[in-house]
Amino acid sequence: MGLTFASLIACAEIINIPYQSGDPTKTSILAVDHPKALVILLMGGDGKVGIFDNGSARSNHTFVRSQGLWAQYGIDSVLVDSSDDLSIRGGGRLTDDYQNRLLSVVTYYRNKFNVPVWLFGHSNGTVSVTEFVNRFSGSNVIAGFIVAGTEQTAILRNNSKLPVLAIHHIQDTCRTTPISASESLIKSRPIGTQAEFITIDGGANTGNVCWALAYHGFNQKEDELVKDAAEFILKKR
């Protein structure tokens, strides 16, 4: 867990986004020429990607492993880090401070690139996404959202008709991310919403069932995970 995971983000650009009077939010972006959309990736756990100034990352999360795959679809991809002194385990992702910080990231990239911005959360990151939608879906700052390995406390409390895709690994046995959480989220959407549920099968399963290299982390299924998400984004343009 302590190894540097250089992978495909070694050439990423690091952008520190100002936030009120606090520390800036560190992000890394892999940008393409003439992007069709931009996806903001919110990982689970404590949200700490561990982005280094050279563009590599400490985390081996599926979003780190697969960030370079978005470019082939003409989509900019952004990883959002969590600072060492900001704990977003438990209910931290539901706080005003965290959600307003996320809003500042979304607004920055929306203004910078002027393309549709999507949120994509995995595991505990799905809590970040659903709470953002609960708070800000009426402001049209995002074009839609995606969840994968949905955490059971990721609840949508409004009737937003934003396009939504839920992806779940059919062999995921992490107890906090039952497949019913992804299914229920899609079933809760109002009639007429572009809402889809997709399952993924196979790959590799190593270590703790809730960690990055298990089925829960879509280990060795990164191509399919990104393909499904990218195709959903592009057909909603």
pLDDT above 60: residue 1: no
The reported pLDDT for the residue numbered 232 is 98
**5-47 confidence digits (pLDDT tens):** 434 444 789 999 999 878 899 999 999 999 999 999 999 988 9
**148-199 confidence digits (pLDDT tens):** 999 999 999 999 999 999 999 999 999 999 999 999 999 999 999 999 999 9
Q: Tell me which DSSP letter residue 68 carries.
A: G
Long-range contacts of 156-159 (CB under 8 A, 24+ apart): 156/130, 156/185, 156/188, 156/189, 158/133, 158/134, 159/190
Specify whether the backbone of 186 is left (phi greater than 0), alpha (psi in -120 to 50) or beta.
alpha
Output the pTM of the full model.
0.94
Range 7-235 classified under CATH 3.40.50.300: no
CA atoms within 13 A on the CB side of 107: 14
Mean pLDDT value across the chain: 91
The reported pLDDT for the residue numbered 9 is 45
Report residue 94 as tokens. 């539901």
- Give the mean pLDDT of 217-235: 97
Distance CA 206, CA 185 (A): 28
